[in-house]
Structure 1
Amino acid sequence: MGKFKIPAVPGTTSKTIRFPNRIIEEVEAAIQGTNCNFSQFVIEATRVALENLKEEDSQ
């Protein structure tokens, strides 16, 4: 059994960005009924996009 470690919460910074209304509606529809909020969705989408860019740069 692995040893329990208290997780470190990553630092965060508040940013204000504007989204087209259509994108907001699509994201809200996609997360409806899930345990995910708008910020979590955008953070994960951005993380995946950055990973994809890194993969493209390495090819």
Structure 2
Amino acid sequence: MSFQLKPKKQTENKTIRFPQDLVNEIEKYIQNKDVTFSRFVIQACEYALENIERDQSKQN
């Protein structure tokens, strides 16, 4: 499954710290795309969780 941008959902504020080099890479990637930094991070986390669940189900 490829990474795909999805529409916005209900949200809650959380404060986290990112390494500056990761922030720079994300901002470079989303430049000229219709997506915010937060939306990108949310979708990346959802993608990671979906794949972790698949990997765990394959191991069982």
The alignment's TM-score, normalised by the length of structure 1, stands at 0.81
| Identity across matched positions, percent | 43
Q: What's 1:11 paired with? A: 10
SS of residue paired to 1:54 = helix
Quote the Cα distance in structure 2 between the aligned partners of 1:45 and 1:11. Answer: 17
Query: Unaligned 5+ residue runs, structure 1?
Result: 1-8
Query: Unaligned 5+ residue runs, structure 2?
Result: 1-7
Q: What's 1:40 paired with? A: 39
- Aligned length, in residue pairs: 51
Bigger RCO of structures 1 and 2 (CA < 8 A, at least 6 apart):
2
The alignment's TM-score, normalised by the length of structure 2, stands at 0.79
Structure of higher CA gyration radius = 1
Q: What's 1:49 paired with? A: 48
- Runs of 4+ in structure 1 displaced over 6 angstroms? none
C-alpha RMSD of matched pairs (Å): 1.3
